[in-house]
Amino acid sequence: MPDVDAKARRTRIEERVHAEREVGYADLAAEFDVSEMTIRRDMEALEALGVVRRVVGGAIALKGKDSEPTFETRIANAAEEKRHIADAVAELIGPGETLILDSGSTALAVAQSLRGRRLGLTVLTPSVLAALELVDEADTTVVLTGGELRPSELSLIGPAAEDTLSQYNCDTFVMGVAGIDGLRGISDYHQADSRVKRAAIARADRVIVAADRSKLGRVTFTSIAALGDIHVIITDGDPEHPTLVAARKEGVEVVCVDGLDAPAGEVESL
């Protein structure tokens, strides 16, 4: 049985992992003034209880209705629909734009869709995977933000990433999200990723949200922006979904794609 101090520490770790969804061994060791080995033992105990799943360098939350699916799961989910959404996003990007491209599975699909279009873009991104997708694209300049590498997502987070974004003025930010709701607006799972998204919104003239229909009406842990703070939503959802109706009332352009039948690029703009 763990001693009283260990019990108290594990309770606090559990509270923190539920709040932040992902925690690192080094940060926790510094916070509790114990060794990383001690934190690893705590994580083993919490994993045995089904509270967390250990990943490289830390752990992610398992319990709670809004726990974030793994990146691999999100890539697999609605893959065909995301490809059509990504193609519709790419159609809205003009030659020579400066583009902030978010991290996440949908943003990665957008990067893949941009390949071969020869748009002469400058792409600023916190996503290592998106950067690798576009690094050898002709006439494209790729700029990675600085920051701490988030192992589960291969995204760059933290003050350095936010500071990098603050140094640029960009035409468009393409953002992936976990939830879009008519009342609560745009939300995501992870606090640090959400801060990076907010920093990107502040530096872009146009914000495009790319989200498959499963995100409509969903509210997740961290608030990012109100509906009125974005400009375009591209989705495969029902045009009359209450969230999309609310978005249009806020002046947001809604573009609905048929993810199963429509050719790439064919959209209905509402």
Q: Which domains does the chain have, with CATH numbers?
A: 4-61 (1.10.10.10), 73-269 (3.40.50.1360)
- pTM, two decimal places: 0.71
83, 113 contact by CB (below 8 A) = yes
Q: Angle formed by the axes of helices 25-32 and 36-48, to 10°?
A: 110
| Residue that wins the pLDDT comparison between 221 and 179 | 179
CA dist., res. 79 & res. 211, Å (int) = 12
Q: 223-245 b/e with 16+ CB inside 10 Å = b?
A: bbbebeebbbbbbbbeeebebbe
Q: Which helix (H) or strand (E) holds 42?
A: helix 36-48
What is the mean predicted confidence (pLDDT) over 33-50?
86
Among 239, 236, 245, CA closest to 88: 236
Q: Which helix (H) or strand (E) holds 209?
A: strand 204-210
What is the CB neighbour count within 10 angstroms for residue 2? 12
Q: Give pLDDT, residue 63.
A: 52
Q: Give pLDDT, residue 264.
A: 35
Name which of 62-76, 99-113, 216-230 the model is least confident about: 62-76
What is the mean predicted confidence (pLDDT) over 222-246?
95
Token pair listed for 64: 């709670």
Token pair listed for 108: 């990665």
| Residue that wins the pLDDT comparison between 174 and 56 | 174
What is the mean predicted confidence (pLDDT) over 133-148?
94
